[in-house]
Chain A
Amino acid sequence: MAIIRTSHAGRSPSRAVSLVLAGLFSVALLFGLAAPAAADTTDDEGGESLPFTISGNVRSGGEPVEGAEIAASNGDFEGEAVTDDKGRFSIGVPTKDGTWTLVLDEDSLPSGVSVPDDFVFEQEVTFGNTSTVTKNFTLGAAERSTVSFFDQLLSRTVNGLNFGLMLALAAIGLSLVFGTTGLSNFAHGEMVTFGALMALLFSAGVGLPIWLAIPLAVIVSALFGLGMDAGIWRPLRRKGIGTVQLMIVSIGLSLALRYVFQMGIGGGTRQLPGGTTAVIPGLGPIRLTMTDVISMGVSIVVIALFAWWLMRTRIGRATRAVSDNPSLAAASGIDVDAVVRVVWVMAAALAGLSGVLWAYFRPGIKWDMGTSILLLMFAAVTLGGLGTAFGALVGSIIVGLLVEISTLWIPSDLKYAGALVVLIVIMLFRPQGILGRRERIG
C-alpha cells in the first residue's frame, strides 16, 4: 500500500461504516418506491397457487410457436397450459416427486408449423433440487444452420466488438482503481448493475424520457463512486489497511450491494425502455439493431474522450503518475488523495454507463447482471496488463471478440468459460499482460 499515511489517521471507521449502511438503506428505499411502477416479467399462468413449475418453450425453426397446448401428468395430477406470444409455457404442479409426462398436442399447432418425421410429442421430466424444471420442444432445425461460416464469423465479430467496447468501459475503471490504489475491486460488478438500475429508476420508475434518464444515471453513478471512496475506501486507506484486506472488504461490499439490489427489484428481469429489436436492413449477414449502433458509438466516443483526458489534461497526467509510483507522485507535489477521488468518480461513471449498455445488450436488467461479467472484466484487465488503462481497452476487446466468436465452435453456454480459460493460459506465458511491464508482477 503506497498511499502515504497522514498524521491525522484516526478518522473514526465506525462513522464510515454507518455512512455506508445509511447509503445502502437509502438505495433500498429508492427501489422500494420504484418497485410498483415497473411490471414484473415473471407471469406464470395458473402457476401461482401450486408450489412447483414445469416450464419451457415451443419453437419452430428458431421462431416461437404461439397457442400450442401442453399437458403435464404424473398419473394423479394433470395440468395444462398454452404457449404465449414468445412460445413460453408454464404449468404449476402440486408435487415434484416421480416422473412427469409432458405431451405437446399436435392438433393445437398453428398451421404453417412443420413437424419433422422423428419428432417426439411426449417427453418425460423429473424435478431436480429446484422447484422448477425446464423442458423445451424444438420443431425443426433453427434457421442459422443455413448461414455460411464466413457470414457467421462476420456477424459474431461485430457483436463481439460491441460487447468488448461495453466491457472496456467497465474494465478501464477497474484497472484505474487497481493502478492507483492497489485494490482489486470485487464490487465493481455492482457499480455496473447500479448504473443500469438507476437508468431503470429514472425511466420506468420516475417516468423521465430515456435520453434524460441515462445521463442522470451516469451522474448518480459518479456520485455513488464518490460516496464509496469517501465513505469506505479513503477511511480504510488512512487506517493503513493492506490490499488483501481491502480486497476482502470489497467482496463483502459486493455481496451486500447485490442482495440490496435483489431486495429492490426481486429476482426477475426488467427491460429498459427505448430498446429496439428491429434489425437494420441492408447489412447482409450482420444483424445489428439501432440500439447496438448507438451503443457502439457511445462507447467509442466516451473511450476517446477518456483517452484524451488521461493523456492531455493535468489531472490525467497526475493519474498516470500516481499509477506509476504513488510515493514519488506524492513527493513531487501531487495530491494523491484527490487523484484517487477523481479516479473513483471516473470509474463509477464509466461502470454505470457500461451497465446501461449491458442492459440493452443482454437484454434486461437483473440484480446480478454486473457480477456475471465481473470475471470477464478481471480477465480483460489481466490480459491487457494489470493497472494500465489502455491495456484494459485492448484486453476487453479481445475478451469480447473471444466470447462471441468462440460460440462458432463451443456451446454458447460455455462462451464465458472459453474467455476464462484463455486468461489462465495467458498466465503461463505472459503474466504481465499484453501492455503490462515485467516489474509489476513482482
Chain B
Amino acid sequence: MNILQILSNTLAQILAPATLGYVLAAIGLSVHFGFAGLLNMGVAGFMAIGAYGFAISILTFGLPWPVAVLIGLGAAVVFALIMGIPTLRLRGDYLAIVTIAAAEVLRLLFLTSAFRRQTGSADGLSGFQSGFRASNPLPPGRWGFGPWTYQSDQWWVIIVGIITIAIAVLLVWLLMRSPWGRVIRGIREDEDAVRSLGKNVFSYKMQALIFGGVIIAAGGIVTAMGTNVNPNVYVTSQTFYVWTALLLGGAATIFGPVLGAVLFWVVRAFLSNLLPALVDIGWLPFLTAEQSQMLVFVLVGVALMLLVIFRPQGILGSKKELTFVR
C-alpha cells in the first residue's frame, strides 16, 4: 500500500474540475435551500443544462466559448422559470418532486438517441474545449508543485473555476446582507409573515431560484471545461451528492458550501483510493476491490443520514439559523 500515492491523489482532488463544479453547485444550492428555503432536488438538471448548453453551442452552432457560457447560463434561467412557475406557489415538497422530475426529463432528453447529432446520446460530447484552450494565456507545459502538477490547459480551467467561485461567493455574500437577502431569509422562516409585509413572495422566490440556478449551471460549465460531458454523470444521485456537500459545510452559510464540497470530494477520493488498497493488503477480507468502491457510496449515504439527524446546521452553521424550519 502506497500511502504517499493515496495522499497525493487525495490532495490533487481539491483542484479537480469536478470539485470546482461541485463547489459552485453547492453555492447555488445554498441560495436555494440555505437562504430561500427552496427544496431544489434538480441540481443535476441545472448542472446538465449549463454543461450541455455550453457544449452544444460550440459543437452544433460553432459559437465562441464566452458566448457559449452565456447561453449555458441563459438556459438555466429558462429552466428555473419553467420549474418555478407551476410550483413556487405550492408547498415546498411539490417543488422537490417537480425539480427532481424535470432534471430526470432533461437527462433522458440528453440520453435519447433521437437527438444523437446534437447531444451525442449515451456517449456524451467531447472536443468542444479547443476554443477555451486557445484563449489560455498561461505558459505551456506541465508545471505546479507536489500533488498539484497539471498541464497548462488544466491550470487554465482551475483558474477560471476559482475566479468564478470567488465571484459567486462575493455575490452571495453581498446579496445576503442586502435588503433582498433579508426578505429571502424571511421567506424561509415564515412566508406568510413576509407576505403580510406586502412583499411579492412568489417573485422573490423566483429570483432566488434563478440566481441559484445560474450559479449551479456555472458549476456545470466549469466541469465541462475540464472534462467531457456525459449524461450518465447528471443522474439523480449527483443531486444528492451536492446536497450532502452543502449540508456538510452548512446550508445557510457563505463558506459552508465551499468547505463542504471540497471536503466531500477529498474524503471520497481518499476512501476510494484507500479502501481498494486495504483490500489489496487483506485488511478487508470480505470485500473485493470493486465492492470497496461501492462501500464508499454506502458511507456517503450513511454520512448524509447522520449529518441531517445529528448536525443539521453543518460544520460552519449555527443552530440559531437552522434551515429546516418546516
Contacts and interface: CB of A to CB of B under 8 A. Distances in A.
- Interface-centre pick from B39, B87, B92, B309 (highest chain A CB count, 10 A): B309
A255 B309 contact: no
B160 interface: no
A245 interface: yes
Contacts of A420: 101-102, 104-105
A256 B302 contact: yes
B190 interface: no
B318 interface: no
Given A242-B326, A255-B304, A259-B294, A236 B309 contact: yes
A243 B91 CA distance: 12
A256 B286 contact: no
Contacts of B108: 413-414, 416-417
Interface residues of A, number: 56
A262 B120 contact: no
A266 B294 CA distance: 9
Contacts of B82: 424
A243 B108 CA distance: 29
A375 interface: yes
B112 A128 contact: no
B243 interface: yes
A2 to B, nearest CB: 12
B236 interface: yes
B297 interface: yes
Interface in A375-390: 375, 378-379, 382
A427 interface: yes
A255 B98 contact: no
Contact of A255 (B83, B228, B297): B297
Contacts of A254: 240, 301
Residue in B111, B112, B126, B305 whose Cβ sees the most chain A Cβ within 10 Å: B305
A230 interface: no
Interface in B293-320: 294-295, 297-310, 312
Contacts, number: 171
> SS class of chain B's interface: helix, strand, loop or mixed?
helix
Nearest to B126: A128
A365 to B, nearest CB: 17
Contact of B123 (A133, A416, A427): A133
B286 to A, nearest CB: 7
B48 to A, nearest CB: 13
Given A254-B301, A417-B104, A417-B108, A242 B124 contact: no
A9 to B, nearest CB: 14
Contact of A260 (B86, B243, B298, B303): B298
B230 A129 contact: yes
Contacts of A34: none
Contacts of A266: 290
A333 to B, nearest CB: 28
A134 B122 CA distance: 9
B158 interface: no
A130 B228 CA distance: 11
B96 interface: yes
A245 B324 contact: yes
A252 B243 CA distance: 10
Interface in A7-34: 13, 17, 21, 24, 32
Interface string B143-168: 00000000000000000000000000
B294 to A, nearest CB: 5
A13 B240 CA distance: 23
Contacts of B299: 256
A424 B101 contact: yes
B247 interface: yes
Contacts of B240: 251-252, 254-255
B287 to A, nearest CB: 8
B309 A249 contact: yes
Contacts of B86: 424-425, 427-428, 431
26 contacts: A126-B123, A128-B230, A129-B124, A130-B123, A184-B93, A239-B309, A244-B39, A244-B324, A245-B308, A247-B96, A248-B243, A249-B305, A252-B240, A252-B307, A256-B300, A259-B297, A259-B301, A375-B101, A411-B112, A413-B113, A417-B108, A424-B86, A425-B86, A427-B86, A428-B86, A431-B90
Interface of B: 39, 82-83, 85-87, 90-94, 96-98, 100-102, 104-105, 108-109, 111-114, 120, 122-124, 126, 227-228, 230, 232, 236-237, 240, 243-244, 247, 286-287, 290-291, 294-295, 297-310, 312, 324-326
Given A127-B123, A425-B86, A427-B86, 13 more contacts: A130-B232, A134-B122, A248-B247, A251-B240, A255-B240, A258-B297, A375-B100, A375-B236, A378-B97, A414-B112, A416-B108, A424-B98, A427-B94
